Chain A
Amino acid sequence: MKKFLEGSQAVARAVKLAKPGVISAYPITPQTHIVEGLAQFVAEGELKSEFVNVESEHSAASVVLGAEASGVRSFTATSSQGLILMSEVLFNIAGMRLPVMLVCANRALSAPINIWNDHQDSITLRDSGWIQFYAENHQEAVDFILQGYRIGENPRIMLPVMVCIDGYILTHGMEVVDIPSQEQVDKFLPPYNPPYKLDVDNPLSLGLLGDPTVYMETRYAIQETLNDVLKLIPQVSSEFESIFGRRTLRLVETYKTDDAEVILVAMGSVAGTIKDVIDEERSKGKKIGLLKIVTYRPFPKEEVFNILKQASQVGVIEKAVSLGSDGPLYTEISALFSGEKGSPQISGFVAGLGGRDITKKTIQRVIELVKEKKASCIFMDLNKELLWEEFRV
C-alpha cells in the first residue's frame, strides 16, 4: 500500500515485514528513527521480536552475531562512528558467514565531528566481506532490505548485507513509498533456516582459530561466494518483480547511457539530482548519461566495463575518498580499463563530504571538467578561504 513516509519509518516497516527474531542497536544520528520505529512496533506488540538494548554499537553487532549464530534472523542499524566501532565485529560476522542485515544511514566520519551525509563510513567497510547496496530513494531502501535478507540467507551464500541509505536525505526525507503486504513478503521471504547454527542438542563451535593452513581458504570462499552473488541478484530481483510488480534491485542502473558520450557514475540519492541535470543537458543536445552503482560489493566489474567502454569521457562522482590516494570508486573503475585500447578518459570527483550539498551546479561543473584533462581526484565546491598554509584560529 502506498504511504507518504519518512525514510526511517519506511525502513522500520520493511524490517517489521521481514520479522527478525532479534533486533539490537545503539542510538546514533541519523539512524535513530529506524530503531525507534522498530522499538515502538515491539512495545505495542505489532512485532514479536527480542529488542536488546546495549551500551555500544560494538555490543549491538555482537548481539546480532550471536542471534544469527543461534539460527535467528536479526537486524541492526547504525551510522558513522557507530559503524566503525562495530567494524571489528562486522569482519567477524562476514568471516563466520552469518547473514545479518544492517542498515547504514550514511554519515561522515570524525574528526571534525559531523552528523551530515557522505559515504565514508560504509565505504571504509568495503573490504569486510559484506554485501553492500546503495539506495537512491525510499522504495529502493525498502525493497533492498527484503531482497537482501533473501540473498544473504541463501544457504549457498550465507553472507551479511548492508543496505546503505543517505543520512537525512533518505532517513529524514518524506516520500511516497509502496509498503508491501505481509502476505506478499511471506511468499517471497521464507522463515530463516540456516544450514548451521549453535544448538545444544548438536554442539558446534563457530568462530574458530584459523591457522595459516586453513585461513586463506576461508577468505577465498568468501571471494568466490561474492562472485556467485552477482549471478544471484538478477534471479532474486526477477522473483521479487513477479510478486511485488517492480524491479529495483540491480547490479547497476543506467540512465540514458545508450548513446552517451559522457557518462557520470554515482551511488545513492545523488543519482536523482544527476538525472535531472542529464534531462536538462539532453534538451540542449548534449549526450550525457548516468551509471548508478547499486551493488557496490560485490563489484559488478563486467557490467560497469561494458556500459562505460562506449563513452568518450567518464566522471566518477563519489562521497568518499581514500585519503592519500583517490576516491575508491574512481580507483576501481580506472583499474577495469587498465591496458584496454580505446578506453574512455576517466576522471574522479569527490563531492558532498560532510553533508555539503551536491547541487545541479556541482554536476554541471563536473560535466565541464570531465571534458578537460584527465584528473584523478578533484574536490568539488571547495571554499578556498578556509584553506591556509599555516595554523590559525
Chain B
Amino acid sequence: MFSILAAKAGSSKDNKTGSWCSVKKPKFLQKNCIGCGLCKLVCPEACIEGKEKNTYCPDYDYCKGCGLCAYICPKKDIEMVPATEEK
C-alpha cells in the first residue's frame, strides 16, 4: 500500500499555500509606485506580478505575509494590513 510519495514537476501551484498567511498581508496601494520591481524580486514565493508602475500586486493564493515587499519598497507604497481585511 502506498500513499502520497511523489509529485510531478509544477504541482506546487496546485497547493494554495496562501492559507498559511501570517497575521498580516501586504496591501499594494498603487499610488506612488515607480515600477522599480524590487517587491517582485525579493518575494520568496515569487507570487508578485506587475510591469508598469502602479500595476504590481501579489497572488494571495501563495502570499505568506512575510512583509519583505513592504520593507523593500522605496516609496512606502505597500502597507501591511490585517490578513483578515478584504482583499
Contact = CB atoms under 8 A, between A and B. Distances in A.
Contacts of B84: none
A81 to B, nearest CB: 31
Contact of B8 (A203, A210, A220): A203
| Interface size class, chain B | 10 to 19
B1 A196 contact: no
B5 A206 contact: yes
Interface string A158-200: 1000000000000000000000000000000000000010000
Nearest to A98: B5
A386 interface: no
Interface string A204-215: 111010100010
A8 to B, nearest CB: 34
A233 interface: no
A237 interface: no
A280 interface: no
Nearest to A210: B4
A96 B5 CA distance: 6
A205 B7 contact: yes
Q: SS class of chain B's interface: helix, strand, loop or mixed?
A: loop
A224 to B, nearest CB: 4
A228 interface: yes
A208 B7 contact: yes
A208 B4 CA distance: 9
Contact of A205 (B2, B3, B9): B9
Q: SS class of chain A's interface: helix, strand, loop or mixed?
A: mixed
Contact of A208 (B1, B2, B6): B6
A296 B61 CA distance: 47
Contacts, number: 40
| Interface size class, chain A | 10 to 19
Contacts of B9: 203-205
Interface in B1-50: 1-9, 11
A390 B23 CA distance: 56
A243 interface: no
A121 to B, nearest CB: 28
A224 B1 contact: yes
A96 B7 CA distance: 12
A218 B3 contact: yes
A221 interface: yes
Contact of A228 (B1, B4, B6, B7): B1
Contacts of B3: 214, 217-218, 220-221
A210 B5 CA distance: 9
A299 B7 CA distance: 32
Interface in A19-61: none
A221 B9 CA distance: 24
B4 A217 contact: yes
Contacts of A221: 1-3
Contacts of B1: 220-221, 224-225, 228
A225 B1 CA distance: 5
Contacts of B6: 196, 204-206, 208
Contacts of B2: 97, 158, 221, 225
A203 B3 CA distance: 19
Interface of B: 1-9, 11
Given A205-B11, A220-B1, 15 more contacts: A97-B5, A158-B2, A196-B5, A203-B9, A204-B8, A204-B9, A205-B7, A206-B5, A214-B4, A217-B3, A217-B4, A221-B3, A225-B1, A225-B2, A228-B1
25 contacts: A97-B5, A196-B5, A203-B8, A203-B9, A204-B7, A204-B9, A205-B7, A205-B8, A205-B9, A205-B11, A206-B5, A206-B6, A208-B4, A208-B5, A208-B6, A208-B7, A210-B4, A214-B4, A218-B4, A218-B5, A220-B3, A221-B1, A221-B2, A221-B3, A225-B2
